Amino acid sequence: MRSVADDIRDEDRRALLALTPDARVRLALELGDCGLDAFRLAHDPPLDRAAAARVLERRRQAGRRACPCIEELIG
């Protein structure tokens, strides 16, 4: 039995496939901007865009393991 979520997912998939590659990239960038704005406005007081981007970048980097090769190059 199909659910409403299945129908919505199929509809979204068809809509995305109808977009040109250029439009898909534009949509991805717009969604990223919306996500950044939601993140920055969730803080009290709200962060500016640059500060929010820095916080997210640091969080992404925090979970990564250091590369021994780079560590040797840096010293």
pLDDT of amino acid 67? 81
Q: Tokens in use for 51?
A: 């500060």
Q: Coil, helix or strand for 31?
A: helix
- Cβ–Cβ under 8 Å, residues 55 and 67: no
Enclosing domain of residue 12: 4-74
The model's pTM is 0.68
pLDDT band at 14 (very low <50, low <70, confident <90, very high): very high
Question: What does the pLDDT look like over 30-53, one tens digit per residue?
Answer: 999 999 999 999 999 999 999 999
Report the number of distinct structural domains present in the chain.
1
pLDDT of amino acid 66? 77
pLDDT band at 17 (very low <50, low <70, confident <90, very high): very high
